[in-house]
Structures are given as C-alpha cells and as structure tokens.
Amino acid sequence: MDSILVTGNGPLNGQIDIAGAKNACLTLMPATLLTEEPLTLTNAPRLSDIRTMTTLLQSLGAEVSSLQDGKVIAMSSHDINNHTAEYDIVRKMRASILVLGPMLARDGHAVVSLPGGCAIGARPVDLHLKALESLGAEMELKDGYVHAKAPQGRLQGGVVEFPIVSVGATENVLMAATLAKGTTIIRNAAREPEIVDLADCLRRMGAQISGDGTSVITVEGVDRLNGATHPVVTDRIELGTYMLAPAICGGEVELLGGRIDLIGAFVEKLDQAGISVVETEAGLKVSRRGARVAAVDVVTEPFPGFPTDLQAQMMALLCTADGVSVLEEKIFENRFMHAPELMRMGAQIDVSGGTATVTGVERLKGAPVMATDLRASVSLILAGLAAEGETRVSRVYHLDRGYEHVVRKLSGVGAKIERIREE
C-alpha cells in the first residue's frame, strides 16, 4: 500500500494548474445515458473515481474513451443493453447512484445497487428516491438494490421539494426531469457550481432548464436530447486545497484557472486569517501577509457557504494559527477523523460532536499518520509541508480518488514530497 513522504522545507513559489472538477465530471458522465448521440467532456480530471464511473457506464453498454492523456472523455450510449448497476462497481463510489435518474428517464426502468464511498457518515439515498417518486417513479428496495420503474414508460413532470439541500439528489432529479413529460419544479435545490455546470451541459444537449444557481430550478421536459461537447468546470476543492499550500508554508503560488466566484466564502475566511488572494489574468495568486496566520472560526454550509470538502484542509492551516479557532461541521457527521492524526503531529484539537476547537501551535512536528478519507489525506499532506521533520501519510489510495498528480504539482512549487511505492 503506497504512502507519501513529506518533509517541511519552507516557502513555496511558482504555479499550479488546477484540474477540472471531480464532482462535476462524475455528474456529467451519467448524462450520456440521456441520449443516443455522443457526449464529449473536455478539461476532465484524471482520477480513480473517473475510472470507476467509466467502468460503470461501460457495464451498462455505453462506449467510453479516454483521449488526450485523459483530459477528454468521449462517450456514446447508443446501445444501452443493461439496466442494472452492480454492487461490485457501485460500492466503490457514492456518485454511482447518479445513473439512476438518467436510465429511468430514458428507458423507464433501472436497477441500481445502494452505493459506497468515503466513510464520513450517513449519506442516505432516500432524497434521490423520493425526488424521483415525485416524477411518478415507483421504487422498491430489494436485496440491497433499488428497483425503479416509470409506470407509463416515461416520467411525468412534478414538484420536488427537498427537506434539506442535497447536491446529489438535485443532480439526479435534474437529469431525470429533462426527459419527463411536462414541467418539473425543484424547490430547495442545491446551488453549487457543479449544478450550474450540469445544467449548462444539459442545455447544450437541448434541455430546457432555468433557475440553476438559485434554490428553485424549473425544467420543461423534452422528447429527446442530442449530443454535445462540454468543458468541465474548474475543481473548486482542488483550487482551495492548493491555495492553502502557500498559506501554511509561506511563499507565493499562482493557481492557474482559479476563480473567486467558485469559492467566495472560503476566500473571505482566508482574508480574515491574513492570506492575500489576488486575481490575475491566468487565475489566482495567493500569499501570506504575515509570519503567522490569525485564528478564524469556520462553519460549513451548502454553497455559497464554506465547503465541507475544505474543512479538513482549513483545520490543518489553523493548527499553526495565532489563537483559538472553532470549526463547526454542519454537513457530514464523522468528518473530524483527521483530527487525531493531526494531534499526532503536535496539534491541539478538542472535538465535541460536530465542533472542533483548535488552539494554534507555533510549529507542527512530522510523524507517521494515516489517511481516513479523501479530504483528510490531503490535509495531512498540507500539515506535513509546514511540520518540522518528516511526515509519512499512509493509505493514500483515498487521495487518488480526488487529486491528480499531487506529488508533481506540489514538488513543482518547491515542496519536498515523494510517493513511496510499496509492493
């Protein structure tokens, strides 16, 4: 099992190219199931989760090709010959549930295993199922599988009212509604940039969608969708993660392709902590204004609030801040599993329920640590960049699900980091 060895060695300087968004691409790929014509995605990230989604789509009969060193994904679903998403594939990734809406909308039936993914708390699919039921779908849970069908062979427009904001469920029902008969109104919809990106792609395919980016989305169903070519939006979580590298180490790094509108709430917190973020023609340039960052309080919220997927990385920064910071996690339970590992490096963290209190120390110390999930793994790497001595992060297979070429990107700006291959 591979590990990553990080040695703290001072400021970072240079440029980092930000990839296309993992969470956007994993949503855009199932959209191929909505049409018999080709769908091509550009600016795609090269990640293990993308390979898993490729395998899933191919198992359903879709043709999926990786071009231009993986940055272009060419898909065609002209011959969907299987409507069962098997457990052996779906268990690896929760985003697999996103094939349910498109298959149900196009062919009127689908069987999808209940999904897997990072162990960061309950993320039930009931919101997905209830939303699709609002469009006339009939659901049955049997032997760990969702058996879904549209009684008349086609979904019907309806009103979907989410009790809580759900990005995945919004994406699933948004795709399904494009081919439903009549008008669908989605209330309390997620507002994330990935939702807007999906809606943009679906519009390129001929869908009639308005209101994306707000809490109410309206979809006028059409009889068929066509093919399209669509660029995947910049990965705002990778962007935020690498913005924290010069914040925690010092120096100045330009993030190519970065946009403040994707992570406004995060940038506000960086400003409060004493981090300068300047827009450039190519992206965002980040540097630390003082020798030590200031403590700040963070509450994770749905977009446009502070992203839960940047909470672990922000905690790594605040471990060396001047003062006491309080981080409140309101999206997922069990998302402080990185805290004990940071404490092995000398961090002072007290976790109580969904709140973590971090008392900053002047310097962390390198230590052997273990990644517990995707975002936790990269938070430990960031902490290692600012620590005295060597930090060895094990179980980095989590990292491969969401970050491409971490070692190359960080070493390119001066970090002392290497991947240790183990047989």
Catalytic residue numbers, as ranges: 118
**330 marked among binding-site residues:** no
**421 marked among binding-site residues:** no
Shortest CA distance to 268 belongs to which of 322, 305, 213, 318? 305
- What type of residue is 58? Q
Shortest CA distance to 403 belongs to which of 419, 421, 386, 420? 419
**127 marked among binding-site residues:** yes
Identify the residue whose tokens are 């191929």: 32
Q: Is 398 exposed, middle or buried (0-12, 13-18, 19+ CB in 10 A)?
A: buried
Indicate the DSSP class of residue 138. Answer: E
**Phi-psi map region of 342: left, alpha, beta (phi>0 left; psi -120 to 50 alpha):** alpha
**125 marked among binding-site residues:** yes
**123 marked among binding-site residues:** yes
**94 marked among binding-site residues:** yes
Q: Are 218 and 182 in contact (CB under 8 A)?
A: no
**309 marked among binding-site residues:** yes
Q: Are 324 and 347 in contact (CB under 8 A)?
A: no
Residues 6 or more apart in contact with residue 18 via CB below 8 angstroms: 234, 235, 238, 239, 242, 255, 256, 257, 258, 283
**22 marked among binding-site residues:** yes
Q: DSSP 3-state assignment of 282? A: coil
C-alpha dihedral sign at 390, 391, 394, 396? negative
> Long-range contacts of range 124-129, CB-CB < 8 Å, 24 or more positions apart?
125/97, 127/162, 127/163, 127/164, 127/166, 127/168, 127/169, 128/97, 128/100, 128/101, 128/166, 128/168, 128/169, 128/172, 128/173
Q: How many CB atoms lie within 10 A of CB 348?
A: 13
**88 marked among binding-site residues:** no
Give the residue numbers of the binding site: 22-23, 94, 123-127, 309, 331
Give the residue numbers of the binding site for phosphoenolpyruvate: 22-23
Give the residue numbers of the binding site for UDP-N-acetyl-alpha-D-glucosamine: 94, 123-127, 309, 331
